[in-house]
Chains A and B, each alone.
Chain A
Amino acid sequence: MKSKKLALPYILWMFVFTLVPLVLVISYAIRDENGNFTLEFLAKAMKYGDVFFYSLWVAALSTVICLLLAYPISYIISRSKERTQRTLTMLIMVPMWMNFLLRIYAWVILLQTNGPVASLFSLFGIKLQLIGNTGAVVLGMVYEYLPFMILPLYTVMGKIDNSLIEAAQDLGSNKFNVIRKVVFPLTVPGIISGVTMVFVPATSTFLVSQYLGGTDNIMIGDVIEKVFWTDKNTGSAIALCLMVVILLCIIVMNRFGDEEAVGI
């Protein structure tokens, strides 16, 4: 029980399968074929700066929408009867079990020209191009990651004692103040963990924009995939940049909450 040895296999494992691959990425990114140090590939990666910013923007937008949608529903669930709570959380988890490519494909069918949603709109005389734009990409992202926002929020909200809210009401707080002064501060850890769980994967997603976006909606994940097959060096350089950017974002987010909040 006191044994540290039990961790040995895993430490070895991490060395081979976590650290060495990262070293390889860095080495591919900054060394040419002859093994000399070069900034050529990082410079090439910089050409995709616009795509980087676009990806961050789409991810941020999706995260905010997820948060806005998830906050009320998590609150409603956490305040309902225990039995209902269980059923509702279960129903939120079910779509996560379906393959993510299939869910995207389903949106392609829903949003296509003359598809179900478009027909619905045209009933009211509205003609809309629903697919092939940033809106569709954001919609796809929100759909993919909404459960990852709801679940951590629901967990922290479930822990808030009802009597705390009642006490605040008794002391004369109105509804808005109860939420702002009591509920919100207590849910900050949930928000941070939800935001991390949505923002990080959303930034680096690939394929979503290939199916739901148009020619202007390429994201950094797609670029890495495309470049990587033909040019491992530049591909690694972009991957390296992405990693650094994500890391910075996580550090910034952690500043807002305590250490325990991040993670699952």
Chain B
Amino acid sequence: MTKKKRNILSKLYIGIIFTFLYAPIAVLIAYSFNDGKTSVWKGFTFRWYVELFQDSSIMTALYNTLIIAVLAAVISTILGTAAAIGIYNFKGTPRKLIQTVSNIPIINPEIVTGVSLMLLFTFLGRMLNFEMGFVTVLLSHVGFCTPYVILSVTPKLRQMDNHVYEAALDLGCGQWQAFYKVVLFELLPGILSGFLISFTYSLDDFVISYFTRGSKFQTLPIEIYTMLKKRISPKINALSAILFVVILTVLIITNIHDARVEKRNKENHGGTV
């Protein structure tokens, strides 16, 4: 096989995989313009985009989802970063034990986590007399996000040179100052990626919210589930089209930005050497 042939072959393969990945999304977006409620094509319309913003239940669900995702990401980032540093200072068996327990929500099937949390909340609910809803969903989300934060912060802790912290202390920094000027700065990439992972997982979670939401609290995935059982409203398609465009734009912008930064770094490098 010549190199050229191989190139064509691999391009073809990439093409097939991407068709597979994007065909359903194309369908979703196409149906957001369908002037009919069923999956039969009835003509082109923009009305679902207008109606989407007037639909209070979808809007409330969207709002709930975003609030939960932001709060869950913030709380689990703080909790997880602190935990990662703390765990790092443990040695031997206790450390292994903590890490194992911490990984349970990642390894455990989501449905088992959901069911077990529901048992916990009904149990506590009876004891303390509260209803499942916003708070229980938030708690569960923090629960399954924090392990991911720990996993993304821990490698950065390992890379960090412990002497830097001590040097900062020697140079007259207070303990707290040294902590946030040196340690947090070094950990920042890990913390940020932990935050992002948490945000994304929380945004997309269905199974765990389904079991812990009680009966009145709706998040977007649950709203979609309820609709999916009968007729999905094209408004949801419109929403997913908007989300798709937003995500794509954000990713493209960061991509271009990255490429520029890299190029600049290379040029600078070339200059100095």
Contacts and interface: CB of A to CB of B under 8 A. Distances in A.
A26 to B, nearest CB: 9
A14 interface: yes
A24 B120 contact: yes
Tell me the dominant secondary structure on chain B's binding face.
Answer: helix
A167 interface: no
Interface in A10-41: 10-11, 13-14, 16-22, 24-25, 28
Contacts of A107: 24
Contacts of A21: 113, 116-117, 119-120
Contacts of A228: 115
B24 A94 contact: no
A184 interface: no
Contact of A204 (B18, B111, B200): B111
Contacts of B20: 143, 146
Give the residue among B17, B87, B220 with the most A Cβ atoms within 10 A: B17
B116 A99 contact: no
B255 A9 contact: no
A236 B115 contact: yes
A243 B109 contact: yes
Interface in A104-163: 105-107, 109-110, 112, 115-116, 143, 146-147
Contact of B240 (A13, A98, A236, A239): A98
B251 A10 contact: no
A24 B25 contact: no
Interface stretch (B44-52, B66-74, B95-103): B95-103
B247 interface: yes
B31 to A, nearest CB: 7
A69 B108 CA distance: 26
B256 to A, nearest CB: 10
Contacts of B220: 99
A94 B248 contact: yes
B73 to A, nearest CB: 15
Interface in B60-106: 79-80, 82-83, 85-87, 89-90, 98, 101-106
Contact of B17 (A73, A110, A235): A73
B18 A101 contact: no
B98 A86 contact: no
A186 interface: no
A74 to B, nearest CB: 10
Contact of B86 (A5, A22, A246): A5
What bracket does the count of chain A residues touching chain B fall in?
A: 35 or more
A15 to B, nearest CB: 9
A264 B148 contact: yes
B139 A17 contact: yes
B146 A13 contact: yes
B22 A204 contact: no
B109 A10 contact: no
A3 interface: yes
Nearest to A79: B10
A101 B228 contact: yes
Nearest to B11: A76
A48 to B, nearest CB: 14
Nearest 4 Cβ contacts at the A-B interface? A7-B86, A204-B109, A106-B24, A10-B83
16 contacts: A1-B162, A1-B179, A4-B86, A9-B79, A13-B79, A18-B105, A76-B13, A95-B22, A97-B204, A99-B224, A101-B224, A101-B228, A103-B28, A109-B39, A146-B20, A206-B207
Interface of A: 1-11, 13-14, 16-22, 24-25, 28, 69, 72-73, 76-77, 83, 86-88, 90-103, 105-107, 109-110, 112, 115-116, 143, 146-147, 200-201, 203-204, 206-207, 211, 221, 224-225, 228, 232, 235-236, 239, 242-243, 246-247, 250, 263-264
Given A6-B89, A102-B28, A211-B228, 11 more contacts: A1-B85, A13-B79, A17-B120, A22-B104, A76-B14, A101-B228, A106-B28, A116-B27, A224-B111, A243-B112, A264-B151
